[in-house]
Structure 1
Amino acid sequence: MTKRCICQICTCGKHRCPHRPYGIIGKGDQPCAATEYRSEFVPREGGVRESFKPEYALQTNTAPLNDETTHKHDYIKHALDKPRSFKPEEVYVPRGEFDSLTSYNKEYTPKGGERAKLIKHEGQKTISAPFEGDPTYKADYRKWEASRTEPIRHDGGYVAPSDPFKGSSTYTTDYLKHQGAMRQAIRPDQAVLQSQEPFDDRTGYRTDYIRHPQQERFQRPKEEYAPNKSALDSLTTHKKDFTPKEIELTRSMKPNQQGYQSNARFEDSTTNKSDFKRWEVQPIQTHKPDEYRAKTGDMDLNTMYNSEFTPKPLAKVNAIRPVERRAVDAKFDANTTYGGDYRKWPGGRPPAIRAQSGYAPPNMPFEGMSTYKGHYIPHAGGPQRSFKPDGIAYKSAAPFDDATMYRTEYTQKEIEPCPAAFLETPRSNFILHHMDPTGHKFYETQQEAAQSQYQQQQQQQPIAV
């Protein structure tokens, strides 16, 4: 009885243990029928959820507009007074000497010390023994003798014509050139818009305008400059209040650049030196993979494409030529509705529109009622109807024709689910046998487990004398 790993139980190539990350050769493209979605998902009945979108309705109000705002209601006008002038207080300047002694200069005095020495650690010792071991690629991979696949060719039964090629196409034989004269323009003649009369430049401005004499412009007399006779006082508040004072320069607070020196002995004992213990290093143990065992039997190279898509006799497709056009021997009629209905009218310059000088204002007073207020009638208007199409899809009463070529010609095959997908579940036929120290799990079938348990019971029974 042999114990198998998950890599040996898997038949789809998608299940493998972390110690063997590569799938089985030749079984990596097969689909797995058992998935977590099919085993865990339970279908439930449900309908279409109703839409929470509110109905579109325009809210209208027939109450008159109230033009009273919070600004008009709450605003109160206050009298404006002339702003008062503000004079700043006089600057108080203390007198006496400045004490520049700080706690930093008083407590932090320069001290002597030696320069710290470098701490050098011993180099790591390397193992001089050579590496012994074979990688999984060299141990598991084997070269197979592969033969070249013969190409699949389909014979359509095409027979080449025996007549020589004439070199004339249907375009050159059916298309005939016709000679046509140049079409005359239907554009009207521009000579009608010209006039021989002289240009009349008399306008209402030139005839009615009366020139009046201009009055002289009023000019204000310029005031003469009168210089100030009093002497200029050049004494400012800066010269008056800020008098020169004798003070010493501020000493620098910058510490001395000399390093800290000490005559005491440097203590190099660290937690790493006191607590660390050296342990003996052993070489890494390599895991040797299992030997590859080839399966017995011949490989079936027959595919679904070669078995179902067999060559079929085909005939040459006939050329689809357009219908030949017959030439018309009748005379071309160039009369159009535009040429028959259009008439040339005598064109002339329109008369000038001049203002009438005999205007007489009415004697009746203005009533204050305009044509807009008299003729306009207000109508109650509602929201405009939306022309947006509804979201209801087109429905047909005819049954849906789902008979496709895939459904009619495809024959369903039974796909056995991968036994590795049901491991450690009630549906699995394998039971966990043991686990090695490296974490590799090995399984056995329920029949093998029952047989081994029966043999143990037989061995434990006492032998009758």
Structure 2
Amino acid sequence: MKQPRCLCEICICGRHRCPHKPTKIYDNGPQPRFTTEYGENYPIYGNVPPPRSLRPKQEYQGHRGRMEGMTTFKSDYLPYDIVKRPFRVQEEYKPKTGEMELRTTYRKDYNAHKIQPVTLVRPLEREHTTGGKFDTIPTYQDDYRSWAVQRREPSKVDAYQPPTVKFGNSTTFQDEFVPKELNPRQSFKPRCVAKLSDVPFESATSHRASYIAHQLGPKFMRPKEEYKPSNQPFEGLTTHQNDFKGLPGQLAKSCKPEYTKVGSNAQFNGVTEFQDHFQPWLVSLPEVRKTREYVPPSGNMDLNSTTHLDYVKHKISPAVPIRPVSNQKRTNAPFQGTTTTKEDFKAWDICQQEITKKQQEIPKPTGKFDDLTTFKSHYIPYQIIPAQSFKPIHLVPRSAPFQDETTYRTEYTPKKQNICPAIYSSPPGYVYVNTDSHGHKFFCQLTPEFSESNNNLIPKEVAVVS
């Protein structure tokens, strides 16, 4: 039994391919065989070795002798005698007596110098003054002469007189506005008088007359379903946890160095540099300022302000409205649907207007139709002279019989019709083996008749036509 072949490799027409659809996530089986147009047109040659390279090989040629344990560092390094570092005994701290001096290096080394005022480099202004009096007439006073202009009296008559009483003057609107007598317009609206009917009101309606009360049946109530818990225990596995299988592998090792505590648990009894240089000194507490006790003022409080004392109230009459008084009369009578428009304007009987047609200027023909057109009445037939043909007469010689032999009939050799074995569900001469995860169907060849060279089948029902 030969090696199984895919359906893509059995096909000879190039139109049959396996559906490349994966069926599972991880595949531990054989790798899929992808067929391409390049792989079909350019097959792999069997026993053709690759060309030999003429490039020299870069191989390491190690030392054949024995390796000595002496290095350059060992030969050149000279060891020195190691002497221990002398330990300095720390002196005992003794606090200084007396008060702290607040002197600094700036106050100690700085020497104050006497500074003289800076002299001005700008030259002094020279004032050219004389003791005589300047007695001249300027050009403006010499050329300009003032005219004797009398003051013009204003043409506007100022009839303003200050009032003797506060808010005694009238406004511009009160001076210019002249009140007129109101003449109400005559109303043509009919009087709003309710027209009461003497006929008693009939309370019978179509709904009361035609309505038949039907007795309602009991309302259908759907019984509530009782909750029945499941007897099977709940599985906490999901589809992902149930179907997913991770790849086996080792856990990642940490590259972090192990934590080692540096130092000792002994208590530190020494003195630091901060304790040596910065010694505490006595600081006086800040003086607490006592608040004064509140002493209320004697006597009663005067609640009068300048506004209360200086303001004088004036009796002002309210402004009289100038708009006319509306003569609205409200009645409690019911609203009548009749208006003057409905009573005076009655609907007219409107008739449909006839269509105005224009009279025809051309009278219609009377009598029977003669079936004679203008073309028939005016057409004059002419005799047609056929054109002379200059084409040579084609005469077929019928002396020899017609030979129906062609190059196609003499040289054509009928060939067998190739049928692709992949059109069948199970190719003849092959047995189905399996289908991989990528959808490729593999078949195994049984008989030597269906080989790679003769892989064509011709059924008996197919007739070959030349």
Which interval holds the TM-score relative to the shorter structure? under 0.3
TM-score (norm 2): 0.16
Q: Which has the higher contact order (CA 8 A, sep 6+)?
A: 2
Normalising by structure 1, report the TM-score: 0.16
Q: Which of these two proteins has the greater Rg computed from alpha carbons?
A: 2
